[in-house]
Structure 1
Amino acid sequence: MGYEFDDAPTADLTASWVVSGPTAATFREDIERAIASKATDVRETIQDGIERGVSLEIPVVDGNAYGALRRVVDRHADRKGFAALGPDDRRRNVRLATATLGGESGRCSPYVLAEALLTVASPHSPTETLTTGDVAYGLAQLPAERLVPSLPPTMQKAVKALLVANGPLGRSAIVERAGISEASYDRNIDELAAIGLVEATGNGGHKQWQAWIVPWWSPLTDIDGPRTADGDKSALVRPSRWDDVLYEIALDLGLDPDYELFAWPVDADEVFAALPRLERWRGFVKTHYGLADVEHPALTPNDDTIEDGPDAPSSVEIGCGPAARSGEQVSLGGTNSSTN
């Protein structure tokens, strides 16, 4: 059957395929080639330019990389009524999200991020912007298994129990609310404290704990020391570099790191190889500090441009005629009469 066209026909793509998994991003070129292989799969009369046809541009994008996550933040901030985000605010929000939700440095599920942002309340004024505090609140509402995926479930449950508590909790309360064993608590609480996700506050000689999505040492905060009033603020001074953070964490965990391992310039791979107990915190610390993602350079601490990065959207066109078609046949608009 023939086709009837309006003068300026348009269409919106209403369905999509999602390929997910640890190595899903490596299939991007294969997917684009597979789609492109259908580019001339149209009727001969359209290919010959005798009959008008319709082409379809199919966008292909790395959905969990910086560019896509930036668009998720922008879209939800706009829908909630927040003012437009500047590059710095946007970058900080994405960094916090990927540090908390990412299984690898600089990446996280856009769906989980959207789920967190849906819980953020609308602003009181249209001039307010979406802050890291707002994003942190949304992240804290997620189920325990979403938080810092590199952690074991018992750690995630303990953090979640403290995040939703109305005040500090002691050992027995954490064990009960998180549904973990006392042995799991004893094994993990010191590490959570060393990393700064939880902080201790004394109560008559019995230690209690509070938790925050953003550790006090993160550049995403504006504080100079641990948040708890009776915490030992003299023990740590705000580190200026990610390797300083790791060195302090290693000391707190009693790992007795070789000082030469942290002599500048520091090799991250050497640090984590020498201190394997810190491996699960690699992405967490590096993302908080906005370090460049070497594999995906669109995530950089000082560049918000995504158009030329590997996570920038691209399109594969199908249903179009041969490239040799004459110039007057390549548009659906005006008096031209063939496929774009």
Structure 2
Amino acid sequence: MSRSGSHEKLGEIARTVTVGAAIQSEYADRTLYRQVFEDREEKRASAFGVDVDAADPFGRFIGGLVLRGPDATRLARHVEGQLADGPAPIHEDAPEIAVSIPVRTPDRTTYAEVAARMGREKRLDPTRDAVTILRALTGNPYAVADALHALGAEPMARDITLDEVRAALGHLEADRLFPDAPPTVGKAMQALLRSTTPLSQAELAEAAGVSTRSLRRYVDALDALTLVEATDDGLRFALPTREQRGADIRPAVLDDSAAARQDLLFDVVLALTDDPPNKLLAAVFTGGSYDEGLLRRRIPAVNPWIRIAKVLCNDPEVNTTAVTVGNPTTQTPIGADRRAES
């Protein structure tokens, strides 16, 4: 399936999930969907009305749905957007009620558990760096499981080595590496992971089956994240090969306890854009932090790289987003009215 087709398919699934979530939400034992979104007058006429408590206009989500698969994390973003838009237009007589619905995605703990479970089969214990790298380069725990499954079993339990992490990732198809980035990135990563020697940009483009022109700025972005290193012999992925086992080769960001995602992203922005306006950079990156919303809106090419920067820096994460669905109240709570009158 093409990326555009996949995007459309995820959108269709998200719409179905949103309708189901609204049906599984209630206020005072009344279904949110029927009360707020039902467009058939005869159905609304046959439904019981609802008395809205202005001080408490929020109902509850009584259902639950677990979606598993290679695109589950990407689907979550579609679901969040579709929930915010609603399953259908709000009808004009809808009561002012709403429900907060949580959307949860895998976090570091999820990836660590998958790596540990697969590691037990191979007698390979995942290290902190291994989990970080596996999570950064893949889009979901399923890809991590498939990558580690390709490794052979050891006679005795030991820690997984970084060259084995490299070999495991090299077994994945290109579209499962950096899946949210343009296809060129995944193809280049796969070629670098599988190569036992450094490659020039021309050699990398040939091995990846992409043009040198399309490759150049992405290599610079990967270098900004310290995932790719430029050596005298060419470009190499920042992990040892089997022949280099034990060598201190790994992304430099993992050695920097003070590494901050805004510093990585600033360099990524410079790599992906041609002379970004200074005013924009000053507005986005200010006060030792950055405005993620503004960055996503004004420089959308950076969006796929934000998650990777966060993972590499082991940033604290919020993996649950609460989305309000329904017809949020504009009424003033009764208690507030009384305080205003006194």
Q: AA paired with 2:179?
A: P
**Structure 1: gaps (5+ residues):** 1-19, 35-58, 103-107, 225-237, 298-340
Q: CA deviation at 1:283?
A: 1.1
- SS, match of residue 235 in structure 2: strand
Flag the structure with higher helix content: 2
Show the counterpart of 1:82: 124
> CA contact under 8 A between 2:151 and 2:164: conserved in structure 1?
yes
Name which structure has the greater RCO, CA cutoff 8 Å, separation 6+. 1
Match of 1:175 among 205, 218, 222: 205
1:24-66: CA deviation from partner (whole Å, max 9, x where unpaired): 69949959x99xxxxxxxxxxxxxxxxxxxxxxxx97454624
In structure 1, distance between residues paired with 2:216 and 2:289: 35
Show the counterpart of 1:245: 264
**Structure 2: gaps (5+ residues):** 1-8, 25-63, 73-105, 240-248, 322-342
Q: CA deviation at 1:148?
A: 0.3
1:141 aligns with 2:171: yes
Show the counterpart of 1:263: 287
Question: Cα RMSD over matched residues?
Answer: 3.8
1:171-220: CA deviation from partner (whole Å, max 9, x where unpaired): 332232222223323454333333333221235xxxx211237972433x
In structure 2, distance between residues paired with 1:174 and 1:246: 24
Q: CA deviation at 1:94?
A: 4.4
1:53-81: CA deviation from partner (whole Å, max 9, x where unpaired): xxxxxx97454624654442232111112
Structure 2 length normalisation: TM-score?
0.53
Show the counterpart of 2:138: 101
- SS, match of residue 259 in structure 2: coil
Match of 2:303 among 279, 290, 296: 279
Structure 1 length normalisation: TM-score?
0.53
1:125 aligns with 2:151: no
Show the counterpart of 2:143: 112
In structure 1, distance between residues paired with 2:133 and 2:16: 25
CA distance 1:82–1:166, change in 2 (3 Å): closer
Show the counterpart of 1:216: 251
Show the counterpart of 2:114: 72
Counterpart mapping for 1:24-35 below 5 A: 27=17, 30=20
CA distance 1:193–1:68, change in 2 (3 Å): closer
- Bigger radius of gyration among the two: 1
CA distance 1:295–1:176, change in 2 (3 Å): closer
1:274-333: CA deviation from partner (whole Å, max 9, x where unpaired): 433322201111122233433428xxxxxxxxxxxxxxxxxxxxxxxxxxxxxxxxxxxx
> CA contact under 8 A between 1:195 and 1:215: conserved in structure 2?
no
In structure 2, distance between residues paired with 1:200 and 1:252: 15
CA distance 1:217–1:267, change in 2 (3 Å): farther
- SS, match of residue 116 in structure 1: helix
> CA contact under 8 A between 1:262 and 1:271: conserved in structure 2?
no
Q: Could you tell which deviates more after superposition, 153-162 or 93-102? A: 93-102
Match of 1:293 among 317, 320, 323: 317
In structure 2, distance between residues paired with 1:145 and 1:182: 19
> CA contact under 8 A between 2:136 and 2:312: conserved in structure 1?
yes
CA distance 1:189–1:94, change in 2 (3 Å): closer
CA distance 1:96–1:194, change in 2 (3 Å): closer
1:72-107: CA deviation from partner (whole Å, max 9, x where unpaired): 223211111235x6xxx46x55443332112xxxxx
| Number of residue equivalences | 221
- SS, match of residue 232 in structure 2: strand
Show the counterpart of 1:333: none
In structure 2, distance between residues paired with 1:150 and 1:189: 16
